[in-house]
Structure 1
Amino acid sequence: MRITLAQIEAFYWTVQLGSAQKAAYHLNLAQPSISLRLKDLGEALGVELLERSSRGLIMTAEGRMLLPRVKSIMAEIQSIQQRDSALAVVGAIRVGLAEGFAVNCLAPLLAGLLEDYPSLEPEWVVATSTTLEASLLDDKIDVAVLLNPLGHEKLALKPLGPQPTHWVAPASWDMGSAVEPKDLWDKPIISNPPPSAMYRQVTHWFALAGIQPQKISVCTSVAVIPELVAAGLGAGILPTAMALRYVAEGTIQMLPSSPKIENGRLFLGSRAGVADQKIMAVERTTSRVLKKMRYLEIDNNNSTLDNPMA
């Protein structure tokens, strides 16, 4: 008698779930079908694989010897299915990234997508989060990583986690202990223009003390802002991961602050009601890559960040 994959599958799930009835439910089959497959597998091998006891079905010695090989077969099948699923994700997808996020994460995210979904063809758009929200609504992009999105009923937003954020200033500035709004209100501040997430973060921090900054110079590029800070032209807030690069060069300093600057909140946004396998693929890989990078785990309150030379 020939051994079939259906028989092996019935044996595997019966053992995993503890009963033929549960295996049948899991495989969407009638219990007699599972029992028949188990019987046929035993006859094909010429041994008893399972026996009844007061605790239900248990493996015989022969069943225990067979189980590791069955697990290996099932693992290989699962691997093939996952690979086939990845290959089924084919074609172009327009992916937007908030610029501060893109500076730190675009390269590993692209590498992750190439590894997970080799037939996917991402087209990258890097801009401020508010610009990306508008592009989603206008169907100019398919999915985007957004920072502190304004939100819209036509958008579906899935939280990714916090993007650690820090005040930064030129290394030449003599800033002592934790800065407060009164320490920075009369100094030049560099920020993305309103209503960007960065601008809202900056103005909210000052508003907590009932203060408005005297001068905010706007710059549309997050990536250019640390260059301006490093040149001594003003202070600003940046994703902590971006700031650390310049701290290592000795051109800017991260400022401990009171109150703490609020971390940004990252979301994966797409148009509401759109079920696209490619969007779900981007979501899965983004979550995996961020976890691998530990990007969301940089502690904004860590003493080593408040004193990078410690």
Structure 2
Amino acid sequence: MRVTLAQLEAFFWTVQLGSAQRAAQHLNLAQPTLSLRLKDLREAIGVEILERSGRGLRPTPEGRALLPRVAAIMAELRGIGGADPARDIAGPIRVGLAEGFAVTCLPPLLAALREDHPALQPEWVVSTSTVLETALLRDTLDIAVLLNPIGDERLSMTPLGSQPTSWVAPAGWGLAGPVSPRDLWDVPVISNPPPAAMHRQISGWFATAGIAPRRLSACTSVAVIAELVAGGIGAGLLPVRMATRYVAEGSMTLLAANPPVENGRLFTTYRMGVEEPKVMAVARAISRVLASIDYLQP
């Protein structure tokens, strides 16, 4: 049995839109016709390329390996026919954002995607970068913005730049910088738990003096850590743009540090070899939004 363009088109749009029903509607086909094309493609290739995911379908590992080649064929057909490539940017996509980044950047990113690709249906997952990196490797996310990722050969990581980061303390403490590791050694410090990027940044900074913070508390939410610092509970390490609102309202102080705090490094990350239109559209939107809001360290 040979592979046909109709079969590849059925597979491409089922992956893009997340279900055979939506793909059939998009292609103006009866669903049984589309399902038959998917069945014939599976038999022609000899491996399972789709699997159930809730009420929809998603590609298997073999399907994800096939997808870039199918997407390239679809792109060639669009070029021959003069079709608008933006039409392909439709359906669900799972996007992970490091929480400190999301607090500032999610609203403009969501607005940009709605404007550029109104048929795209992003599902936002906000967490620590280590959790998101694991989700990418488990194929439960399609693309993510990670802070100081650990790295894996199965992931493609494109550097975005440095996220300005600073020690912050409750304004009521009356601390003034520059602070050294020994200045903060005995004060309450709140951090994401290990092996989160924030915890690695804090541990590395104290390690420059050969010490560890004595009163370190763990909290999984960066936004909650900001609230705790503003509430006078402890010091923390936050993205500068995230801390700006608290500084302006007088509840938090930015502290210069000696040695300087190492800024976080942001990466757009997705599984190696996966360059489908939706993923690349989100990657482009992330870069454009960061430039428009002047978020990164020059």
TM, length-normalised to structure 2: 0.71
Q: Secondary structure at the residue paired with 2:172?
A: coil
CA shift, 1:176, in A, is: 3.0
Q: Distance in 2 between matches of 1:292 and 1:177?
A: 31
CA shift, 1:108, in A, is: 0.3
CA shift, 1:84, in A, is: 2.0
CA shift, 1:175, in A, is: 1.5
1:21-170 → structure 2 map (5 Å cutoff): 84-170=84-170
Q: Which has the higher contact order (CA 8 A, sep 6+)?
A: 2
Q: Distance in 2 between matches of 1:126 and 1:280?
A: 20
Residue type of the partner of 1:232? G
CA shift, 1:153, in A, is: 1.1
CA shift, 1:173, in A, is: 0.8
**8 A contact 1:168–1:255 mirrored in 2:** yes
CA shift, 1:275, in A, is: 2.1
Deviations along 1:70-113, whole A, 9 cap, x unmatched?
Answer: xxxxxxxxxxx7x9222221111000000000101101000011
Q: Secondary structure at the residue paired with 2:84?
A: helix
CA shift, 1:177, in A, is: 3.5
**8 A contact 1:193–1:219 mirrored in 2:** yes
**8 A contact 1:86–1:118 mirrored in 2:** no
Aligned residue for 1:72?
none
Aligned residue for 1:268?
268
Aligned residue for 1:257?
257
Q: Secondary structure at the residue paired with 2:136?
A: helix
Residue type of the partner of 1:268? T
- Structure 1's 177 and 101: CA in aligned 2 closer, same or farther, altered over 3 A? closer
TM, length-normalised to structure 1: 0.68
* Deviation beyond 4 Å, 4+ runs, structure 1: none
CA shift, 1:209, in A, is: 1.1
**8 A contact 1:187–1:215 mirrored in 2:** yes
Q: Give the root-mean-square deviation of aligned CA atoms.
A: 1.2
**8 A contact 1:169–1:229 mirrored in 2:** yes
| Structure with greater Cα Rg | 1
Aligned residue for 1:245?
245
Residue type of the partner of 2:185? W
**8 A contact 1:87–1:118 mirrored in 2:** no
Q: Distance in 2 between matches of 1:251 and 1:233?
A: 11
Q: Distance in 2 between matches of 1:261 and 1:89?
A: 40
**Stretches of structure 2 lacking an aligned partner (at least 5 in a row):** 1-81
Aligned residue for 2:189?
189
**8 A contact 1:193–1:218 mirrored in 2:** yes
Aligned residue for 2:216?
216
Identical pairs, percent: 61
CA shift, 1:295, in A, is: 0.6
Aligned residue for 2:3?
none
Q: Distance in 2 between matches of 1:265 and 1:116?
A: 27
Aligned residue for 1:43?
none
Residue type of the partner of 2:190? I
Aligned residue for 2:24?
none
Aligned residue for 1:233?
233
Q: Distance in 2 between matches of 1:176 and 1:198?
A: 22
Q: Distance in 2 between matches of 1:86 and 1:200?
A: 40
Q: Distance in 1 between matches of 2:101 and 2:174?
A: 29
Q: Distance in 2 between matches of 1:196 and 1:256?
A: 23
Q: Secondary structure at the residue paired with 1:193?
A: coil
| Stretch moving more, 270-279 or 282-291 | 270-279
